[in-house]
Amino acid sequence: MIIQLESQVDEGQKKDIINKINELKYKTTEVKTQKGDYLVGIGKKDFDIRKIGNLPGIADIHIVSDDYKLVSRKWKVKPTAIDLGDGVVIEEGSMAIMAGPCSIEGEEQIEKTIEHLVENGVRIMRGGVYKPRSSPYSFRGMGIDGLKLWYDAARKAGIKIITEVMQVSQIGEMYDYIDIYQVGARNTQNFNLLDELGRVDKPVMIKRGISGTIDELLYSAEYVFSAGNENLLLCERGIRTYEKATRNTMDINAISILKEKTHLPVIADPSHGIGIRDHVDPVALASVMAGADGVIFETHEKPEEAFSDGQQTLDFSESSRLIEKIRKVHDLRESL
Amino acid sequence: MIIQLESQVDEGQKKDIINKINELKYKTTEVKTQKGDYLVGIGKKDFDIRKIGNLPGIADIHIVSDDYKLVSRKWKVKPTAIDLGDGVVIEEGSMAIMAGPCSIEGEEQIEKTIEHLVENGVRIMRGGVYKPRSSPYSFRGMGIDGLKLWYDAARKAGIKIITEVMQVSQIGEMYDYIDIYQVGARNTQNFNLLDELGRVDKPVMIKRGISGTIDELLYSAEYVFSAGNENLLLCERGIRTYEKATRNTMDINAISILKEKTHLPVIADPSHGIGIRDHVDPVALASVMAGADGVIFETHEKPEEAFSDGQQTLDFSESSRLIEKIRKVHDLRESL
Amino acid sequence: MIIQLESQVDEGQKKDIINKINELKYKTTEVKTQKGDYLVGIGKKDFDIRKIGNLPGIADIHIVSDDYKLVSRKWKVKPTAIDLGDGVVIEEGSMAIMAGPCSIEGEEQIEKTIEHLVENGVRIMRGGVYKPRSSPYSFRGMGIDGLKLWYDAARKAGIKIITEVMQVSQIGEMYDYIDIYQVGARNTQNFNLLDELGRVDKPVMIKRGISGTIDELLYSAEYVFSAGNENLLLCERGIRTYEKATRNTMDINAISILKEKTHLPVIADPSHGIGIRDHVDPVALASVMAGADGVIFETHEKPEEAFSDGQQTLDFSESSRLIEKIRKVHDLRESL
Amino acid sequence: MIIQLESQVDEGQKKDIINKINELKYKTTEVKTQKGDYLVGIGKKDFDIRKIGNLPGIADIHIVSDDYKLVSRKWKVKPTAIDLGDGVVIEEGSMAIMAGPCSIEGEEQIEKTIEHLVENGVRIMRGGVYKPRSSPYSFRGMGIDGLKLWYDAARKAGIKIITEVMQVSQIGEMYDYIDIYQVGARNTQNFNLLDELGRVDKPVMIKRGISGTIDELLYSAEYVFSAGNENLLLCERGIRTYEKATRNTMDINAISILKEKTHLPVIADPSHGIGIRDHVDPVALASVMAGADGVIFETHEKPEEAFSDGQQTLDFSESSRLIEKIRKVHDLRESL
């Protein structure tokens, strides 16, 4: 059960409502986000809504049968839109394109990438400054200094920044320089990180775990939302299966299922999804046709010289062609 | 190594060529199909092609580095086209649509389905008369009598038939009444069945195994081809993974990979791929965008009354809409 | 529901019973095996057993809540014992050891293996004469001639034979020369083969599918049993997962689960289960401790020269040591 | 390459060695642990060891062909032993038993559990005070206060404590009250947490990721070791597969493989591995037979009332019986 509170609800009213719900043997969690004030009630299934419906302070009550509540599509009339400012909005029906290198490598690379994005009308740049790597001996990213360099160049060009946050202490450190925090596939169930990201007011994109279920992804989003941040995006980036012809198995089904289950925007990552440069295009376009609200992919001026993920990174001319195709496919989808 | 023999090659020349190849420590397999006469040589990697290239009877020699040979795209200039007669051709660049019920249930159902297909310009009907079922107590299909009923109705309407063959003894029995033999996901590695299907002159569509790799699917096709039948189609129908929100995990990546690796047409089965009616559309359209040469899906006048697979079967109006969308998406794909 | 009929039941009584069950909206399947006469009823859950319990001809009625019936442990007081004659019995509490090469290669190999088995008190020899191979160009076994050679040598030594049957036509052909038909992992859901194996009176060991569920394995056994053959064994041989450090992932859990769910003997195949010679021992011993009623493993005088599976095959001294250890571990298990 | 430095090496010598290695195009990482001073060199494969072998300050040089280095068995003569003090040592050849509830719930529960452990001669108690939960609305553990209660009771009884650490800020907070930090399956690739655990001097047990590979587990251990802490244990706790008859699929193979690949102790967690109370015993005993150096399992006075994981938790009499059996099976294993 989700109870939307009126914007002018006072603490006394809130307390009365909570008491009433607890009497019904429901456990309540108070949630206060950028957009609203909620009470989430968890308890037995059968429940007579009339017992609390007329209490002062309540704007609306939603019975949500899913185990996750706030991220469920069942209660929210309008899908969530993520507004990054300057006219950059990620929402159902639009097509958000996020592109850039796997790792931020230096000033020249940043500038060339930004130039490429601007030429193609792309407003959001991806790139890693903190890199999760299986081996402790691999390149782990330029860190906060790289992010600052990137921020300076991006701001001038009107480009928004999405980049991965790996631990709680980085949240504050990165805050001034990013537009979207990305939670990587290895941290999808790093619940402390999710909790803390619920306490900031910038959007968070959560990638599906390496072998995470769709439900687990929704629960992870529920963590952030219930801790106070409802500016959330979900990202399908391929799952681990027995098949080794591809790096991961892009789960196109998950895009369609997520669009039904949640009001949050769903982004597709074909670069990690299949992990092979020549196949990024078909997987990206398939993802758009399956209903994705955006695509995030890796591009680099010289993929063969990239510090990481070169094998799945497009060069700029491939990237330009893909962007054009994504837009055409999206147009068709919206017209069907 | 694949050696294409000249059409007028005589047995003496053939023997000379085989001897020569065997001298080079290559094992040879003779392959005679509807379309040509080949020798497949399996042996060590390094090989001087000039040592046999000028022998009489040889039309061409292809070195194929893949472990499968005849189904590899590396040697065949023109992708395989499957001609079913009456203008029904499945080939790269076209879009073959195959639709129909999970199980053939009776005359009325057959006729209503055919009527629906004709109205929508669909030329190939799917349906099962031999049904592989996990439980021995489930409905196992109408068998050969159902097939004959179906054949009579389909022939009148100019509709081609694709249906599953489960065992060697059915191959001959079904021969006069079908246009494409389908090998189901549970029989992808039923090597005796594949061998025998290599000895008939009708097309065979092989579904990927329930947890078969892409390479295993190609090897299974190699079985049929090397036994003499090169009229082959491959079908992605979802794989088994840990994710249980969907019946299977449609592997969109496999479509793109198969299109690169083989000259055989690749068909997508979104009905089994995701297994949920409301999600068949996006998965079908995504598959087309990923490069599929055709789509096979389940439709029934009243899905809720279908003998099997009702939960993933479209009704006729859903089917009509999907067919129209598939064509539009295919048109766009070809124009990109 | 399983109805055990009295041994002297007559056709009229049987018909009366079937009519009565059908009146209760249960579908009946008649099953006549080597050991008994049964009716399997499939229908709605709630059912008053008194309505049929007193009909003449009925020995006993069992309500089985599992979807599979005849192979369930819930109705059968005594676990199934497989008696191969000459004192060779596979049953709960005993430890059946089956060893031998992957492929039967020739007379000398057969004799050396038999000698090794006799020395170690092993009574059952494994070996393939029909080999399922991914590639059509690989060695596919010596066929029926190899089996006859093997049979002659084995009979003299009092050794029983287990070998894989791949298709219906081989069942009769092999009948005189084998003691247990083995259904391989690629044929676990080859339902026609299972049906036919239900019509012979020799034991059948069914391997779990490459990515088969435990329930699917039980259903496959239900096929054979319901077609008339209750001399069945099940075999865990590793499943396909994302982990590639081992050939397969031996599912030790399945052994314990199967022992709870079914009255059939459960055999462990550590050779295929892990697929690496040095690790066959620990996996074999773990399987015994998990409750296996037998172990089947690959051994060859010179594994490095074996026609197939050499990398997971033990030499004779390794085999002797393993046999000794298996017996000690089994003794301990029985004493706990 | 691992270079063990002499204990009295001075900074000048160290610098010379590093320079020399870097000249050979090897990247060096300095590692200083509780037990030694190392340089890890990562670079091209071919290397003439004589070029640096005689430099002052070098005790030994090991060429390790694995991609992980410090945790590899290839260089360390003696397997790692974890000494918890008071005679509690976890090492190859011994059998460490760790038991206790899923969650620490309160004083009475702690005391009853300790009493049970003392009676059975178990020296290490498990229990969670920070609980990773899929849903934000589930019980998340008693936190540091629960840990302090536990510590007081455990210290009196001579019982050692292993408990999960979920984030960097907890490391210091928990330090005084624990004997082994446990890294849970959802944090196996939380690289920041691993890095920080490399900077403390208490043992760390890393659980395999939910669908982590064996190699990824070893890399995660390499993170901790290379950051300075070589008191490490690894834990197999079941992986995620398609099979749903069990909670996870305990990967018995991994125990055997890990024992070959690393010098670190390997612990088995049958409770999570199979996730069903009645099957914990066989999986535990199988794990011991496969080579585990210890077993960690869940026990509770009244499993049906446990705050979490009751379905896989043994009651005390089941626990006592299992402990006795584990010891007998271990004795047999050591005698084989």
D136/A29 touch (CB, cutoff 8 Å), yes or no: yes
CB D198 within 8 A of CB D178: no
The total number of structural domains in chain C stands at 2
Cβ contact B253–A250 (<8 Å): yes
**Mean per-residue pLDDT for C272-292?**
98
Which chain C residues are closer than 8 Å to B209 by Cβ? 210
Residue D265 lies in a domain: yes
Chain C residues closer than 8 Å to A240 by CB: 242
Nearest to B211 among A215, A242, A244 (CB): A242
pLDDT value at position B268?
98
Tell me which residue in C136, C186, C190 faces B226 most closely, judged by beta carbons.
C136
User: Residue B63: its pLDDT value, please?
Assistant: 87
CA distance to partner chain A, nearest, from residue B336 (Å):
7
Domain identity same for C183 and C95: yes
Say whether both C156 and C126 belong to one domain: yes
Confidence of residue D23 (pLDDT cuts 50, 70, 90): confident
Among A242, A243, A247, most C C-beta atoms within 10 A, so best to mutate, is A242
> Residue B244: its chain D contacts at CB < 8 A?
244
Chains touching chain D through at least 3 C-beta pairs below 8 angstroms are: A, B, C
Alpha-carbon gap: B134 to the closest alpha carbon of chain C (Å)? 6
C36 neighbors C55 (Cβ within 8 angstroms)? no
Asked whether residue B41 falls in the same domain as residue B93, the answer is: no
* Residue B319 falls inside a structural domain: yes
- Same structural domain, B128 and B263: yes
CATH code (residue A296): 3.20.20.70
Label residue D250 by pLDDT band (50, 70, 90): very high
Instruction: Provide the residue count of chain A.
Output: 336
pLDDT score recorded for residue A213? 97
Residues A90 and A189 grouped into a single domain: yes
Question: Which of C131, C167, C225, C251 to substitute to test the interface with B, most B CBs within 10 Å?
Answer: C167
pLDDT band (50, 70, 90) for residue D248 = very high
C105 and C55 within one domain: no
Q: Which residues of C touch B307 (CB under 8 A)?
A: none
Tens-digit pLDDT profile for residues A74-117? 998 899 999 999 999 999 999 999 999 999 999 999 999 999 99
Average per-residue pLDDT for chain B:
95
Q: Is D157 exposed, middle or buried (0-12, 13-18, 19+ CB in 10 A)?
A: middle
- The pLDDT of residue D237 is 98
Task: Measure in Å the smallest separation between the Cα of C31 and chain B Cα atoms.
Answer: 12
* Whether A191 and A115 share a structural domain: yes
**Which residues of chain D are within 8 Å of residue A167 when distances are taken between CB atoms?**
167-168, 190, 192-193
Decide if D122 is inside a domain. yes
- What integer pLDDT is reported at residue D5 of this predicted model? 94
**What does the alpha-carbon distance between residue C303 and residue C296 come to, in Å, rounded to a whole number?**
16
Residue A45 has pLDDT above 70, yes or no: no
Same domain, D205 and D116: yes
Best mutation target among A165, A183, A190 (most D Cβ atoms within 10 Å) is A190
The answer to whether residue C21 sits within a structural domain is yes
pLDDT tens track for B13-43: 999 999 988 888 888 999 999 989 999 988 8
List the single best residue of B210, B239, B241, B242 to mutate versus D (max D Cβ within 10 A): B242
Rounded to the nearest angstrom, the minimum Cα separation between C240 and chain A is 7
Q: Are residues A52 and A180 in the same domain?
A: no
Contact (CB<8Å) D249/C244: no
Q: Is residue A204 situated within a structural domain? A: yes
Both B57 and B86 in a single domain?
A: no
The Cα of D283 is separated from the nearest Cα of chain A by a number of Å equal to 24
Nearest CA in chain A to C244: A242
Whether the predicted pLDDT of A46 surpasses 70: no
- pLDDT attached to residue D327: 98
Distance from CA of B309 to the nearest CA of A (A): 18
- Chains touching chain B, criterion 3+ CB pairs below 8 Å: A, C, D
Inter-chain CB proximity B166 and C192 less than 8 Å: yes
Contact B211 D240 (CB under 8 A): no
| pLDDT, chain A, mean | 95
CB pairs under 8 A between A and D: 80
pLDDT in tens, B191-238: 999 999 999 999 999 999 999 999 999 999 999 999 999 999 999 999
Contacts of D29 in chain A (CB under 8 A): 136-137
Rounded distance between C-alpha atoms, residue A210 and residue A186, angstroms: 7
Grouping H, G, I as helix, E, B as strand and the rest as coil, residue A209 is coil
What would the pLDDT profile of C180-207 be if each residue is shown by its tens digit?
A: 999 999 999 999 999 999 999 999 999 9
- How far off is chain A from B251, nearest CA to CA, in Å? 7
Q: Which residues in chain B are contacts of D240 at CB distance < 8 A?
A: 242
- Using a 10 angstrom Cβ sphere, with 0-12 exposed, 13-18 middle and 19 or more buried, the burial of residue C11 is exposed
Q: Contact D246/C255, CB-based, under 8 Å?
A: no
Q: Strand, helix or coil at C256?
A: helix
Quote the minimal CA–CA distance from C280 to chain D in Å.
Answer: 9
CA distance C108 to chain B (A): 25
pLDDT greater than 90 at residue D49: no
* Same domain, yes or no: D148 and D251: yes
pLDDT band at D54 (very low <50, low <70, confident <90, very high): confident
**Domain span including residue C194:** 82-335
Kindly list the residues of chain B whose beta carbon comes within 8 Å of any beta carbon in chain D.
211, 240-242, 244
**Whether the Cβ atoms of residue A313 and residue A280 lie closer than 8 Å to each other:** no
What does the pLDDT average to over D323-335?
Answer: 98
Question: Do C211 and A242 make contact, defined as CB atoms within 8 angstroms?
Answer: yes
Check whether residue A284 and residue A167 sit in a common domain: yes
Question: What pTM did the predictor assign?
Answer: 0.95
3-state secondary structure chain D: CEEEECCCCCHHHHHHHHHHHHHCCCEEEEEECCCCEEEEEECCCCCCCHHHHCCCCEEEEECCCCCCCCCECCCCCCCCCEECCCCCEECCCCCEEEEECCECCCHHHHHHHHHHHHHCCCCEEECECCCCCCCCCCCCCCHHHHHHHHHHHHHHHCCEEEEECCCHHHHHHHHCCCCEEEECHHHCCCHHHHHHHCCCCCCEEEECCCCCCHHHHHHHHHHHHHCCCCCEEEEECCECCCCCCCCCECEHHHHHHHHHHECCCEEECHHHHHCCHHHHHHHHHHHHHCCCCEEEEEECCCHHHCCCCHHHCECHHHHHHHHHHHHHHHHHHHHC
Check residue A77 and give its pLDDT.
Answer: 83
pLDDT at C46 over 90: no
Q: A-side interface with D, Cβ within 8 Å?
A: 27, 29, 40, 42, 67-68, 132-137, 166-169, 186-187, 189-193, 195, 209-211, 215-216, 219, 222-223, 226-227, 240
Q: What ipTM describes this predicted complex? A: 0.94
Phi, psi for residue C238 in degrees, rounded to 5: 90, 145
Closest Cα of chain A to B264: distance in Å? 18
Query: D44: pLDDT confidence band, cut at 50, 70 and 90?
Result: confident
C245 lies in a domain? yes
The answer to whether residue A130 is domain-embedded is yes
pLDDT in tens, B122-157: 999 999 999 999 899 988 999 999 999 999 999 999
Chain A partners (3+ C-beta pairs within 8 A): B, C, D
Contact C219 B134 (CB under 8 A): yes
Question: For testing the chain C interface, which of B186, B197, B208 should be mutated: the one with the most C CBs within 10 Å?
Answer: B186
Does the beta-carbon distance from D211 to A216 stay under 8 Å?
A: no
Average pLDDT of chain D to the nearest whole number: 95
Section A31-57 average pLDDT: 84
pLDDT of residue A330: 98
Q: What is the pLDDT of residues B243-270, one digit of tens each?
A: 999 999 999 999 999 999 999 999 999 9
Q: Are D127 and D103 contacting, i.e. CB atoms less than 8 angstroms apart?
A: yes
How far is D73 from chain C, CA to nearest CA, in Å? 16
Query: D203: closest CA among D175, D168, D238, D166?
Result: D175
Residue C96 lies in a domain: yes
Q: What is the CATH number for A8?
A: 3.30.70
pLDDT band with cut points at 50, 70 and 90 for residue B50: confident
Give the lowest-confidence range in B284-288, B319-323, D1-5, D162-166.
Answer: D1-5
**Cβ contact (<8 Å) for A68 and D135?**
yes
Interface of B with A (CB under 8 A): 211, 213-215, 239, 241-246, 249-257, 260, 273-274, 278-279, 282-283, 285-291, 325, 328-329, 332-333, 336
